[in-house]
């Protein structure tokens, strides 16, 4: 049952987030090199990085899809990295996760083993919540691939602080976006390292 639900959600998510077709016709609109280089995230020490030339072959909508995908993966990776470290340190909520499983029981396990030990109903709730977020994001108008010159997808409005309703603009906004992308990219690399160390013992020397 659980595997069937997971498979159905993955199929639905994949169809909803499939990138727009790559346009290779000369007459088709494409993002110019200058406009791509104006996007947030292009910073030292690497700078502009497009070794296979995606920016010269895809449509503006597809380029916005790639950016939205990078942001989404970055945020998930940052949450996963922190969660992995918290679990590895043995920190946990008090009380019961379910009638038969304590949070303390999961804190003593490796992250992948802790997921396996979660009740099936809990896994379904987590995956179902993710599915709801994906659906809501896709239904917001204008769609994030139609955002044009907007600095962020429509549902994201960077603010100056947790309790400050003022929206970031200009140089402050660009600095915040660059920081988020840098941290997200580092978190994705970190999660690849954690995953490799878990699956292939000894593949990452500094990790047990």
Name the stretches of the chain with pLDDT < 50: 1-3, 5-33
Give 5: exposed, middle or buried? Use CB within 10 Å, 0-12, 13-18, 19+. Answer: middle
Token reading at 144: 């994030």
Residue 193: enclosing H or E segment and its boundaries? Answer: helix 170-199
Q: What percent of the chain shows pLDDT beyond 70?
A: 77
- Can you give the pLDDT at residue 186? 92
Using the 8-state DSSP alphabet, how is residue 146 labeled?
G
- Alpha-carbon span 20 to 58, nearest angstrom: 9
- Can you give the pLDDT at residue 151? 53
- Alpha-carbon span 46 to 191, nearest angstrom: 21
Give 88: exposed, middle or buried? Use CB within 10 Å, 0-12, 13-18, 19+. Answer: middle
Q: Kindly report, residue by residue over 30-79, the tens digit of the pLDDT.
A: 444 457 777 788 888 788 888 888 778 888 788 888 888 888 899 999 99
Token reading at 77: 């990776």
């Amino acid at each position: 049952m659980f595997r069937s639900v997971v498979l159905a959600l993955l199929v639905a998510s994949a169809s909803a987030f499939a990138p727009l077709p790559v346009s290779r016709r000369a007459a088709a609109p494409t993002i110019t090199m200058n406009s791509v280089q104006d996007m947030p995230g292009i910073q030292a020490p690497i700078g502009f990085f497009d070794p296979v030339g995606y920016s010269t072959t895809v449509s503006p909508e597809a380029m916005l899809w790639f950016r939205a995908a990078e942001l989404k993966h970055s945020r998930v990776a940052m949450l996963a990295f922190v969660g992995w470290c918290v679990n590895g340190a043995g920190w946990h909520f008090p009380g019961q996760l379910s009638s038969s499983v304590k949070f303390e029981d999961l804190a003593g396990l490796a992250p992948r083993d802790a997921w396996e030990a979660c009740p099936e109903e809990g896994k379904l709730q987590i995956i179902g919540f993710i599915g709801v977020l994906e659906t809501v994001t896709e239904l917001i108008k204008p769609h994030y691939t139609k955002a044009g010159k907007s600095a962020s997808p429509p549902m994201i409005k960077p603010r100056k602080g947790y309790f400050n309703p003022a929206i970031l603009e200009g140089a402050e906004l660009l600095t915040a976006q660059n920081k988020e992308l840098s941290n997200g990219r580092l978190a994705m690399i970190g999660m690849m390292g954690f995953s490799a160390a878990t699956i292939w013992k000894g593949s990452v020397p500094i990790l047990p």
